[in-house]
Amino acid sequence: MLLEQTDAGFKPSKYTSFNTRYDKLNTPRSAGYQAYRHSRCVFVVKGFGETEFNNKKPMHYFDIQAEHGGLLLGGLSRGWLNNQTGEIITSCSIITLPPHKKLGHIHSKSMPLILPQNESIINNWLDTTVNSVEQFSPLLQPYIPQNLIAQQIDKPITHHPINKPELIVLDN
């Protein structure tokens, strides 16, 4: 999400992260604080991958997809003005939540914010005039709003299935 301007344009900051932790969203001066209040975004995806590590070595890889259709992941975006050209570059990150008990055997550290496919919630999430974020607090708890299929794979580059796919049932 964080970029640094160079003579050639922008490059990722040394503090760059693809994710923004939920517990930093209400911390003033954190990378996601202002974006959470003014520039939330949605990633429309088929699924996401997770890798579990032990002592920095991958233990297993999983591909997780919606049982039907796609997923809406909650995120943040930020615009960066190139002082030399006037061009605006947009960067973004996905909000991560604490791990969900149903996904703990897949990834024990976190899960992405999967937004419910509810028009009112999505409209409020994307509305840049909605900067009172208290209404989004329930979304920052681990929650699975739709059935997921988890498939262990050999590794992301080859993506060969290992074992049978597992149904992860939505939360009520």
What string of DSSP letters covers 51-103? EEEETTEEEEEEEEEESSS-EEEEEEEEEEE-TTT--EEEEEEEEEESPPGGG
* Summary mean pLDDT of the chain: 91
**Selected residue with higher pLDDT from 159 and 1:** 159
Nearest Cα to Cα of residue 91 among 19, 140, 7, 14: 19
pTM attached to this predicted model = 0.89
115-156 pLDDT per residue, tens:
999 999 999 999 999 989 999 999 999 999 999 999 999 999
For residue 151, the one-letter residue type is: Q
pLDDT of residue 133: 95
Examine the pLDDT at 1 and tell me if it is beyond 60: no
pLDDT of residue 18: 77
Q: Which structural domains are found in the chain, ordered by start?
A: 3-47+67-145 (3.90.1680.10)
**CA-based torsion, 121, 127, 132, 137: positive or negative:** positive
The enclosing H or E element of 9 equals strand 9-12
pLDDT of residue 78: 86
